[in-house]
Amino acid sequence: MAYVLEICGLEYGYDARSVLDGFDFAQRAGEHRVLLGPSGSGKTTLIHLIAGLLSPRRGSILVDGEMISDLPPVERDALRRRTIGVVFQTLRLVAALDVTQNLLLAQRLAGQRRDQGEVKALLGELGLLHRAHARPRELSQGEAQRAAIARSLVTRPKLLIADEPTSALDDANAERVARLLIDTANAQGSTLLVATHDARIKAFIPGAVTLAPAAEAA
Ligand SMILES: Nc1ncnc2c1ncn2[C@@H]1O[C@H](COP(=O)(O)OP(=O)(O)OP(=O)(O)O)[C@@H](O)[C@H]1O
């Protein structure tokens, strides 16, 4: 099966401080993986690199066969919107839009037809139909998280990345969110990469890769 993500010899750092030093990783379509690492090991940095929000110092990142790390910014943005969904720690829903409008906007930014039927179906799957016209500030934290998952999956991205989706949750809710991510990713045909320091996630997604703690200043 084809690779959705291939990372080779990735290097990145902030000023003199190296965060990633020769990181290699590959993920095939349908092969969900966990990126484990303690706080500060570079998980969020790596997600930003994969999504083309940062540029590597060295090495390459291929998303769905395209070298996102080498593309000019406009094409990078287009590739990200077409092929990657990210559930950020801070969720990043658009405050002025209701849940349905947030999902329709994601479809439009991905260059897709706005599809109310698809939006409704996904909100139903995530138990959010009754909140379809609520603004983000009117949602509970759990509802907002599910809305962010729906927003990231409504474009059926090849790769769905979730940044620390469970670390603040108790066992029952961590399991619920992990299962929800896996089930909805499967239903949408997306491959899941969960970045976390929450070792409980390994029970749900067996393929784990571990980031070493950040290196000391060079
Ligand atoms: N914009 C920045 N400027 C300077 N240093 C940064 C910046 N962003 C992150 N760092 C540093 O880079 C290292 C990796 O940070 P990153 O946020 O990627 O780690 P993380 O594994 O996602 O951590 P957490 O689990 O706490 O979110 C940390 O030491 C952090 O302090």
All domains of the chain in start order, with CATH: 3-210 (3.40.50.300)
pLDDT in tens, 125-161: 888 999 999 999 999 988 998 999 999 999 999 999 9
Instruction: Give the C-alpha separation, 22 to 57, whole Å.
Output: 10
For the Cβ of 42 lying below 6 angstroms from any atom of ligand 1, the answer is yes
Instruction: Give the C-alpha separation, 28 to 186, whole Å.
Output: 14
Pocket test for ligand 1, best of 10, 19, 20, 87 (most atoms within 8 A of CB): 19
pLDDT band at 11 (very low <50, low <70, confident <90, very high): very high
Instruction: Give the C-alpha separation, 71 to 121, whole Å.
Output: 34
pLDDT in tens, 14-66: 998 999 999 999 999 999 999 998 888 999 999 999 999 999 999 999 999 99
Per-residue burial over 168-203, b if 16 or more Cβ lie within 10 Å, else e, is ebeeeebbebbebbeebbeebebbbbbbbbbeebee
The answer, yes or no, to whether ipTM is higher than 0.90 is yes
Burial class of residue 103 in the structure, from the number of CB atoms within 10 Å of its CB (0-12 exposed, 13-18 middle, 19+ buried):
buried
Instruction: Give the C-alpha separation, 200 to 206, whole Å.
Output: 11
